[in-house]
Amino acid sequence: MERSEIDSLVRHNIAGLTPYSTARDEYQGELGTFLDANESPYENGYNRYPDPHQKRLKARLSAIKGMPVENIFIGNGSDEAIDLIFRIFCEPREDNVVAIAPSYGMYRVAAAINDVEVREVQLGEDFSLPVDDILKRADAHTKALFLCSPNNPTGNAFPRAEMLRLADAFGGITVVDEAYIDFSDTEGLKDEIFARPRIVVLQTMSKAWAMAGLRMGLALADRRIIELMSMVKYPYNISEATMRIVKELLDLPVDDQVTEIKAQRAVVAEALSRLRSVKHVYPSDANFLLVRFDDADAVYDHLIGDGIIVRNRSRIKGCEGCLRITVGLKEENEKLLKSLESYEKESPVR
């Protein structure tokens, strides 16, 4: 039997894993006398274990995303999917991953927890993707490459052709985190997973879909990868309550909200760029702006004084002097701009 491209990358203990199974895997009916799981027989809406395969929710998401259900993994936030990539592919203290920097902090945290080395490759000064540097850092033990596009905290999406060139040249799993893809005018890579089975696309319900409090993230990938993720995850990783509420909220379209946030992003970027304290507003494909100030710490403190909390990224290499500012409601953005104007009035001209 020929082993698939994917299986040759999987850790030995995972390849040989017998996953936890439930009696309900054998009984497909909806109605029955369920005396198999030691649940309480007293109905209250939540007395039964949830569907570990999340079949109904996957069917809904399949229609929304235009992806077959076999290519969808649902996790307790994207963070679960990130952790699973490490647990499935990376032998602790032996394998490594390559990640871009600056980027989302969770790749590094998940790597540290799993005792896997991360080789960070600094983006170009304009936050461009250093394709050749990334390929040079990968070796025979590099199992995964973490890209984030649009990238957090820089806000830019990388050119599709460059990401595909990387994915093709790199022999391991290329993870493309698309948490912010709904705010971008560029198309994501999800449709590439069929021709390129080593690409894993991560999406989330936490940003454009406005469900950060519910904790739900998606991985879109080759069916063998989805099979492995489903095998390694906690059986009941998504609660009945979460699935029920997500299904309700999926009926409320968010397209208009995304359109409004993108419009506000342009308004705020333009207003910021006219401020004396602002050195640079980076272009953004996401729902936030990375902004370089003359004195990021002073601006940060001033905003806090006005009850406005932004993310201080000024101590991150490549983001020196920068605050990351989420685009909010029109009123919130106006409050931000007003506070910055008062900062300039109070602070001496530099």
Ligand X SMILES: *Cc1c(COP(=O)(O)O)cnc(C)c1O
Nearer to ligand X, 116 or 201 (CB): 201
- Inter-residue contact 20 to 53 (CB < 8 Å): no
Footprint (CB under 6 A) of ligand X, residues 182-241: 204, 206-207, 212, 217
Say which DSSP state 293 is in: E
Tell me the sheet residues that pair with 99. Answer: 120, 146
CB of 285: closest distance to ligand X in angstroms?
12
Nearer residue to ligand X within complex by CB, 50 or 77: 77
Q: What are phi and psi for residue 260, nearest 5 degrees?
A: -65, -40
- For residue 3, the minimal CB distance to ligand X (Å) is 31
Going across the sheet that includes 288-293, the strands are 278-281, 288-293, 322-326, 311-312
Among 179, 181, 269, 336, binds ligand X (CB under 6 A): 179
* 79: contact with ligand X by CB under 6 A: yes
Size of the site for ligand X (CB under 6 A): 13
Q: Dihedrals φ, ψ of 268, to 5°?
A: -65, -40
Q: How far is the CB of 308 from ligand X (least distance, A)?
A: 20
Nearer to ligand X, 81 or 268 (CB): 81
Shorter beta-carbon distance to ligand X: residue 110 or 275: 110
- Minimum distance between the CB of residue 137 and ligand X, rounded to whole angstroms? 20
Residue 127 binding ligand X, by CB under 6 A: no
* Residue choice 54, 78, 96, 287 for contact with ligand X (CB under 6 A): 78
Nearest to ligand X of 132, 187 (CB atom): 187
Nearer to ligand X, 96 or 206 (CB): 206
* Nearer Cβ to ligand X (67/275): 67
**Residue 95 or 178 having the CB closest to ligand X:** 178
Q: Residue 199 corresponds to which tokens in the numbers above?
A: 């690409």
Phi, psi of 143 (to 5 degrees): -90, -30
142 near 174, Cβ under 8 Å? no
Q: What is the 3-state secondary structure (H, E, C) of 9-78?
A: HCCHHHHCCCCCCCHHHCCCCCCCCCCCCCCCCCCCCCCCCCCCCCHHHHHHHHHHHCCCHHHEEEECCH
Is there a contact between 316 and 289 (Cβ–Cβ < 8 Å)?
no
Nearer to ligand X, 277 or 312 (CB): 312
Question: What's the closest the beta carbon of residue 299 comes to ligand X, in angstroms?
Answer: 22
Distances (CA, A) of 195 to 150, 155, 164, 168, 191: 22, 28, 11, 10, 8
User: How near is the Cβ of 82 to ligand X at its closest, in Å?
Assistant: 8
Q: How far is the CB of 92 from ligand X (least distance, A)?
A: 23
- Residue 149 CB, shortest distance to ligand X, in Å, is 9
H or E element in which residue 339 lies: helix 330-346
Residues 163 and 199: beta-carbon distance below 8 Å: no
Is the preceding omega at residue 153 within 30 degrees of 0, hence cis?
A: yes
CB neighbour list of residue 227: distance below 8 Å, 6 or more residues apart: none
177 lies in the binding site for ligand X (CB under 6 A): yes
Contact call for residue 285 and ligand X (CB under 6 A): no
Residue 104 contacts ligand X per CB under 6 A:
yes
Work out how close the CB of 211 gets to ligand X at its nearest, in angstroms, rounded to a whole number: 9
Number of Cβ within 10 Å of residue 2's Cβ equals 5
- Please report, as ranges, the residues that interact with ligand X according to CB under 6 A: 77-79, 104, 148, 152, 177, 179, 204, 206-207, 212, 217
